[in-house]
Structure 1
Amino acid sequence: MDAEHFEQVAMPLFSPLYDFAYWLTGNRDDAEDLVQEAYVRALRAFASFELGTNLHAWMFSILRNTFLTSRTGMATRNTVSLEDQARMDIENVESPDDTPDVVLAKLADRRCLEHALRRLSISFREVIVLCDIQEMAYRDIAETLGIPIGTVMSRLSRARKALRVALSQPGEGGG
């Protein structure tokens, strides 16, 4: 298997990988670096990838492992530049039919959710992002994280409970 074949099968995953990287790092530049490093590692290991197996889970596993072993991994910076935040906010909430009041309410809700998610542990954050944002199946999440499906389900349940608590607390993460 060559680089051209790798590009054909792996590049369609760029956007979901970047989104996951952003949720892990909280920073656009770090997310871009993380995705780039994950693609480099995946290309190097592509010869050992078995065609017909789950490329999606394989790529997400490489990204996650790259994150965990990177400088920013376990000591994630939960900072976002103001420019990145403003662009992301407008891109994600603005609709042509929305009034300014609706846009502001959506921005406030999104910011509360982001702050609450960032307060969760990495293990909780990654299952919520993979399941509820990336819409991965439990089986794929289990394969990506290298844990049993039962652990995915219990971790997701605990993560959602922790997120509800974080959202209910006054301050940065909640109302």
Structure 2
Amino acid sequence: MDLVSVYDLDPGPSSVIAERQEQRLLLEGLRAISVNYQVVLELHYWEQLSTKEIAAVLGVPAGTVRSRLQRAREALEAAIGALSRSPAMLESTLTRLDDWAQHCAHAMGGRRG
């Protein structure tokens, strides 16, 4: 009797497909929001800059950065929600945003993080 389950084979084909769907959904969502929001999200998630660092890069107060990050996340959630075919995919895509950003940064040459 085999003692290996499909779960033990993780990441299995269905996990890889789901991850790619999440990535595609995230990319489409990012493309649907304004460039200003894309920039602040990239600096925060991909470059892992602090609010103060982002403020220095953009030449705006830290409070403005916090506001933009909040509005950018809301815009991204709305864009992904409009593109998503299921509530579960929307939730998993937004929940995994930090993990996905770190994975992308690592894949692009080991940037900060």
Same fold (TM over 0.5): yes
Counterpart amino acid of 1:168? G
> Within 2, Cα distance between the matches of 1:146 and 1:119?
25
> Within 2, Cα distance between the matches of 1:116 and 1:167?
5
Percent of pairs with identical residues: 36
- Segments of 5+ residues of structure 2 without an aligned counterpart are 1-8, 86-113
1:40-94, Cα deviation, whole Å (9 max, x unpaired): xxxxxxxxxxxxxxxxxxxxxxxxxxxxxxxxxxxxxxxxxxxxxxxxxxxxxxx
> Within 2, Cα distance between the matches of 1:146 and 1:118?
24
Q: Which residue in 1 is equivalent to 2:40?
A: 127
Query: Which of 22, 26, 39 pairs up with 1:109?
Result: 22
Shift of 1:126: 0.6
TM-score (norm 2): 0.64
> Within 2, Cα distance between the matches of 1:147 and 1:120?
20
Counterpart amino acid of 2:54? I
Shift of 1:97: 3.7
1:84-126, Cα deviation, whole Å (9 max, x unpaired): xxxxxxxxxxxx8410111000000000001101111111011
Runs of 4+ in 1 over 3 A off after TM superposition: none
Shift of 1:129: 1.0
CA RMSD across the alignment: 1.4
Q: What aligned pairs does 1:60-139 form with structure 2 within 5 A after superposition?
A: 97-139=10-52
> Within 2, Cα distance between the matches of 1:116 and 1:137?
23
Counterpart amino acid of 1:135? Q
- Segments of 5+ residues of structure 1 without an aligned counterpart are 1-95
- Work out whether 1:157 is the aligned partner of 2:70: yes
